[in-house]
Amino acid sequence: MPNISQKASDMPSSPIRRLVPYADKAQAKGIKIYHLNIGQPDIKTPETAIAAMKNANIDVLEYSHSAGIASYRNKLAAYYQTIGIHITVEDLIVTVGGSEAITFGFMTACNPGDEVIIPEPFYANYNGFAVLAGVKIVPVTSHIEDGFALPPIEEIEKKITPKTKAIVICNPGNPTGYLYSKKELEQLAEIVKKHNIYLFSDEVYREFCYDGATPHSVMNLNGIEDNAIMIDSVSKRYSMCGARIGVIVSKNKEFMAGIMKFAQARLSPPTIEQIGAEAALDTPQSYFDEVIKEYVERRDVLYNGLNSIPGVFCPKPSGAFYCVAKLPVDDADKFCQWLLEEFEYEGQTVMMAPASGFYSTKGVGKDQVRLAYVLNKESLKNAITCLKVALEQYPGKISHSEKIKNLSSIG
Amino acid sequence: MPNISQKASDMPSSPIRRLVPYADKAQAKGIKIYHLNIGQPDIKTPETAIAAMKNANIDVLEYSHSAGIASYRNKLAAYYQTIGIHITVEDLIVTVGGSEAITFGFMTACNPGDEVIIPEPFYANYNGFAVLAGVKIVPVTSHIEDGFALPPIEEIEKKITPKTKAIVICNPGNPTGYLYSKKELEQLAEIVKKHNIYLFSDEVYREFCYDGATPHSVMNLNGIEDNAIMIDSVSKRYSMCGARIGVIVSKNKEFMAGIMKFAQARLSPPTIEQIGAEAALDTPQSYFDEVIKEYVERRDVLYNGLNSIPGVFCPKPSGAFYCVAKLPVDDADKFCQWLLEEFEYEGQTVMMAPASGFYSTKGVGKDQVRLAYVLNKESLKNAITCLKVALEQYPGKISHSEKIKNLSSIG
């Protein structure tokens, strides 16, 4: 039998999906599972997008332009103008989801063996994109005690080597829900300019900022027009994860010419779902007002509920629809598996993503989990109750005093 | 400004699209262009596929399973059974077009720097997939005089080195329209088994075989179950190029586990177009009967027309909807450009793809072009007339006697 490649061996399995077989077994036993483990929102896709796809008058389902349907690109550029991101249609190429945008971005920015610096915890799939492009991720740890703020800029700068080609952030952040301040972004801008490297900013959760917080785009940082790369997608904004329509944006012409060559090789993004994405741009503000109101309420249920459980700590997320919580357990991977394999409370249990998959540094975040608030409030309340009972019963529980000891040994 | 990667520099621009700016200018002058340069069929997408996408009842456009929607995978496996390809649902993973299938295939089979052997001329985008995966393509030239039959198997075997990980064929072939015989495939099977390498077969044109010719799938070759990788797609079969739904098939479990990890990283193929692809499997045989009748008639118009022009030679394609023709010109790249820049006949001209982009060996195929018969017969007849007049007027024409001399010097 022929061998498979090193890349195929190195490629990480999805940490978010590792627990699925245990969940399947629990379900087979008739246990109701509250799925807080995945970022698939239950929010309805805007009617305007669905209607456009239904009403598309198609005789021959043709390739689109490799950079995306012209009318969609134009309307997308206009949309960015309205939210204060001043780009033109030449600065953007439509991709097959944000996933392809990041993969092509890494491939255009980096040679195999080059490095990208990413504050951890970070979206686990970045690991996969890095393996695809042969790139090494160099993590800089952010801390739950600081609410996952940007680590001190000197710590990040210390990690820059001649092989470093980019710093990558997700803003607002998956899995942390942290929203970078303008000052933090300006610090990043200064060092990418100084070291002549790229700054990738994954801004797919832009529309989901709470409590009056304002997102700052990488495209609006002065003096780094040739360094700034923005990743975006319709997946979360319009609850259209299945459309697989993303975009990569940069004012760096040479970089975009590189992206275009990769885009030509794969021919085009899906045609009908681009039609849906174009129509989605007409979604009225009232849709977002409602969705944001809903997410804020859910966040508050989850945030307050988690912090009311003895020994649990969760910083308040300002954006996206995730939070990372620290639990009084020996090992969150074991705990999450135990929840599915051995626990139930009134026929229910909770599925969460162990945070270890979001850290690149071995052993960090071992007692943390990521929770996505993609369920309604009632379900979230039930999930919190389950979790509280589970933490009382879990054999690997760490007592409050041990936890304080551990915290102070970290700090 | 930060540099771009070597890969982004090496990535070939599409040779098929290089002439587009000249075509745009000709069009702006009011000249009608017969587009024989691209493989975008004008054939209607089956009504059943369009209707399924229109009628899909979607509230939340969710991610699908990374391997594809379960019902689609099951139905696809059943479809292969009906055409005598005996695979199960575990042997297939749905991809974003055939493009992604080949890219993931190369990445799973090869380490950077490894080699794949491909008979040339071959589909130009294979170059792009190879650069993406960091793989080197080693061409073996097939000859127009033999109708582009498989080169002698010893010639192929001679190219195998310790770095060779696969032989790649397209069957029926783009750009040649050649259909490999069972004997040719068995020869390939023997050497991939002997050298413990993969055999990739791109079978996206399977349904388009003419004059009673039967396609033989790589999946039906005995004794190479762990070597055989089949690539397929709905793009050409159902004239659904814009759906971006392909599939990769293999009985090699370890190989498919590698593919699955890449598939998880990019989350899922587009959901709505998978629904369309699933429904397309119900397309009645009468649709194909009509389409094949149409393609055969078109092929005959083109084949007979081309060979009736003095100095032009075109072997008869047995499948797909392309042919490669040899023209009495100094340089087909120049000629194709001249057709758009300087020529017109009664306000019309022809756009073709110079074959040089389909050869990997420098200088080979310089007087050849690829023509796609994706226009109706009337247009094809007009295109042939244009081409005949153009060849009378083209300054770089090579006379019949020079041509014979050149041919005999090739041997």
Query: Residue B405: is its pLDDT beyond 70?
Result: no
Q: What is the mean pLDDT of residues A353-374?
A: 95
Give the ipTM of the model, two decimals please.
0.92
| Cβ–Cβ gap B261/A43 under 8 Å | no
B6 touches chain A (CB under 8 A): yes
Judge contact between A280 and A79, C-beta under 8 A: no
Min Cα separation A220/chain B (Å): 17
Higher pLDDT, A42 or A251: A251
Query: Residue A18: is its pLDDT beyond 90?
Result: no
B186 touches chain A (CB under 8 A): no
Q: What is the mean pLDDT of residues A367-382?
A: 96
Per-residue pLDDT at B410:
44
> Is A137 in a helix, a strand, or coil?
strand
Give the largest Cα separation in chain A, rounded. 69
From B110, which residue of chain A is nearest by alpha-carbon distance?
A: A5
Query: Which of B47-71 are b and which e, b meaning 16 or more Cβ less than 10 Å from the residue's Cβ?
Result: ebbbebbeebebeebbbbbbbbbee
From B42, which residue of chain A is nearest by alpha-carbon distance?
A: A60
Per-residue pLDDT at A403:
52
Query: Residue B408: is its pLDDT beyond 60?
Result: no
Contacts A45 to B, Cβ<8 Å: 58-61
Q: Give the mean pLDDT of chain A.
A: 94
Q: What is the mean pLDDT of residues A239-266?
A: 96
Q: What is the mean pLDDT of residues B279-308?
A: 96
- Residue B409 banded pLDDT, cuts 50, 70, 90: very low
The fraction of chain B above a pLDDT of 70, given in percent, is 97
Per-residue pLDDT at A12:
84
Per-residue pLDDT at B400:
59
Contacts B44 to A, Cβ<8 Å: 59-60
Distance, in Å, from the CA atom of A395 to the CA atom of A410, rounded to the nearest integer, reads 24
A44 touches chain B (CB under 8 A): yes
Q: Residue B346 has what DSSP assignment?
A: T
> Exposed, middle or buried, B308 (CB in 10 Å: 0-12/13-18/19+)?
exposed
Query: Which of B70, B138, B47 has the alpha carbon at shortest distance from B360?
Result: B138
| Cβ–Cβ gap B61/A267 under 8 Å | no
Per-residue pLDDT at B402:
57
From the list B11, B50, B64, the residue facing A242 with the nearest CB is B64
pLDDT in tens, B71-127: 999 999 999 999 999 999 999 999 999 999 999 999 999 999 999 999 999 999 999
Query: Residue A286: is its pLDDT beyond 60?
Result: yes
Query: Residue B320: is its pLDDT beyond 60?
Result: yes
pLDDT in tens, A107-134: 999 999 999 999 999 999 999 999 999 9
Judge contact between A363 and A29, C-beta under 8 A: no
Per-residue pLDDT at A41:
86
| Cβ–Cβ gap A109/B59 under 8 Å | no
| Cβ–Cβ gap B63/A53 under 8 Å | no
- Spatial neighbors of B142 by CB under 8 A, at least 6 apart, are B119, B120, B121, B148, B149, B150, B151, B176, B178
Distance, in Å, from the CA atom of A353 to the CA atom of A337, rounded to the nearest integer, reads 10
Contacts B97 to A, Cβ<8 Å: 266-267
From A49, which residue of chain B is nearest by alpha-carbon distance?
A: B61
Query: Residue B196: is its pLDDT beyond 80?
Result: yes
A99 touches chain B (CB under 8 A): yes
**Amino acid, res. B272:** I
| Cβ–Cβ gap A41/B63 under 8 Å | no
Length of chain A in terms of residues written: 411
A49 touches chain B (CB under 8 A): yes
Q: In what order do the strands lie in the sheet with A368-372?
A: A322-326, A368-372, A353-354
From the list A241, A262, A269, the residue facing B132 with the nearest CB is A262
- Rounded to 10 deg, the angle between the B377-393 and B332-341 helix axes is 100
Query: Which of B165, B245, B242 has the alpha carbon at shortest distance from B204?
Result: B245
B62 touches chain A (CB under 8 A): yes
A198 touches chain B (CB under 8 A): yes
Contacts B272 to A, Cβ<8 Å: 53, 242-243, 270, 272-273, 276
Query: Residue A59: is its pLDDT beyond 80?
Result: yes
| Cβ–Cβ gap B272/A272 under 8 Å | yes
Query: Residue B130: is its pLDDT beyond 60?
Result: yes
Q: Which domains does chain B have, with CATH numbers?
A: 6-44+286-399 (3.90.1150.10), 47-280 (3.40.640.10)
The fraction of chain A above a pLDDT of 70, given in percent, is 97
Query: Residue B142: is its pLDDT beyond 90?
Result: yes
Cα distances (angstroms) measured from residue A76 to each of A50, A80, A91, A202, B362: 18, 6, 11, 17, 41
Question: Among A159-168, A229-238, A344-353, B35-44, where is mean pLDDT lowest?
Answer: B35-44
Cα distances (angstroms) measured from residue B278 to each of A254, A273, B337: 40, 16, 41
Contacts B241 to A, Cβ<8 Å: 61-63, 267-268
Question: Among A106-115, A151-160, B11-20, B153-162, where is mean pLDDT lowest?
Answer: B11-20
Min Cα separation A102/chain B (Å): 10
Cα distances (angstroms) measured from residue A169 to each of A120, A131, A173, B155: 9, 18, 8, 51
Per-residue pLDDT at B18:
79
Distance, in Å, from the CA atom of A229 to the CA atom of A249, rounded to the nearest integer, reads 6
Q: What is the mean pLDDT of residues B35-54?
A: 93
Judge contact between A76 and A57, C-beta under 8 A: no
Classify the phi-psi angles of A51: left when phi > 0, otherwise alpha if psi is within -120 to 50, otherwise beta.
alpha
> Is B88 in a helix, a strand, or coil?
coil
A240 touches chain B (CB under 8 A): yes
Query: Residue B12: is its pLDDT beyond 90?
Result: no
Min Cα separation B373/chain A (Å): 16
Per-residue pLDDT at A17:
72
Per-residue pLDDT at A401:
56
Query: Residue A209: is its pLDDT beyond 70?
Result: yes
Distance, in Å, from the CA atom of B233 to the CA atom of B210, rounded to the nearest integer, reads 20
- Interface A–B counts its CB contacts (< 8 A) at 250
